[in-house]
């Protein structure tokens, strides 16, 4: 199971296209995907680049919104994405009261039980106290993390 860079900014991109259904009929669908990008403009460019090989015909990016995701845990055996709310627990020095700070993570898994296992495995090295407040299946179809080869940089001239 892999973990993605914590400094990522995730955008949820909704892509609208005609999908071939199992019965052979075409149906217009809008499906959410996640991309790691620096801006809305880059998110749109990345989702178009990622989706072009998979969609025959026209498609459009119907919506892009910044996603409040701090970490992702991949599990290639899973085909679903689960959004997990994790509360980090700290102690207020002055009052002595417990303070909970929510953090949201996406976990890839085949089912709810495996999502919990993958989340706990991913959190193993965490020094802070935490509690799992919620795990919910999402409609997210796929996630495209940033990779250095994604950059279309011009070649550097050798001197």
Considering the domain architecture, whether residues 131 and 82 belong to the same structural domain is answered as yes
Residue-level pLDDT at 158: 43
Considering the domain architecture, whether residues 116 and 138 belong to the same structural domain is answered as yes
Residue-level pLDDT at 34: 97
Considering the domain architecture, whether residues 55 and 80 belong to the same structural domain is answered as no
59-67/10-20 β-pairing? antiparallel
- Rounded to an integer, what distance in angstroms lies between the CA atom of residue 75 and that of residue 110? 9
Mean of pLDDT values over 65-83 = 96
Considering the domain architecture, whether residues 57 and 96 belong to the same structural domain is answered as no
Considering the domain architecture, whether residues 134 and 116 belong to the same structural domain is answered as yes
Number of domains in the chain: 2
Residue-level pLDDT at 157: 43
Considering the domain architecture, whether residues 82 and 42 belong to the same structural domain is answered as no
User: Is residue 156, in this structure, part of any structural domain at all?
Assistant: no
Considering the domain architecture, whether residues 58 and 15 belong to the same structural domain is answered as yes
pTM (2 decimals)? 0.84
User: Is residue 150, in this structure, part of any structural domain at all?
Assistant: no
CATH number, position 22: 3.10.20
Residues with Cβ < 8 Å from 46, sequence gap 6 or more? Answer: 35, 36, 37, 144, 150
User: Is residue 36, in this structure, part of any structural domain at all?
Assistant: yes
User: Is residue 147, in this structure, part of any structural domain at all?
Assistant: no
What are 81-131's pLDDT values in tens digits?
999 999 999 998 889 899 999 999 999 999 999 999 999 999 998 999 999
The answer, yes or no, to whether residue 1 has pLDDT greater than 90, is: no
User: Is residue 47, in this structure, part of any structural domain at all?
Assistant: yes
% residues pLDDT > 90 (the chain)? 77
Residue-level pLDDT at 151: 53
Domain hosting residue 125, numbered range = 68-142
The answer, yes or no, to whether residue 2 has pLDDT greater than 60, is: no
What order do you get walking across the sheet with 10-20 strand by strand?
59-67, 10-20, 26-36, 142-144
């Amino acid at each position: 199971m892999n973990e993605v860079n914590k400094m990522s900014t995730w955008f949820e991109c909704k892509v609208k296209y005609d999908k071939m259904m199992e019965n052979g009929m075409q149906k217009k669908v809008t499906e959410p995907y996640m991309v790691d990008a620096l801006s809305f403009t880059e998110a749109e460019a990345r989702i178009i680049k990622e989706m072009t090989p998979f969609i025959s015909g026209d498609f459009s990016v119907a919506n892009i919104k910044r996603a409040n995701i701090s970490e992702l845990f991949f599990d290639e055996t899973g085909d679903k994405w689960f959004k997990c709310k994790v509360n980090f627990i700290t102690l207020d020095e002055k009052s002595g009261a417990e303070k909970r700070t929510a953090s949201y993570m996406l976990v890839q898994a085949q089912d709810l039980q495996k999502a919990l296992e993958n989340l706990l495995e991913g959190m193993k090295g965490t020094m802070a106290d935490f509690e799992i407040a919620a795990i919910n299946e999402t409609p997210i179809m796929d996630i495209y993390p940033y990779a250095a080869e994604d950059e279309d940089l011009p070649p550097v001239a050798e001197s």
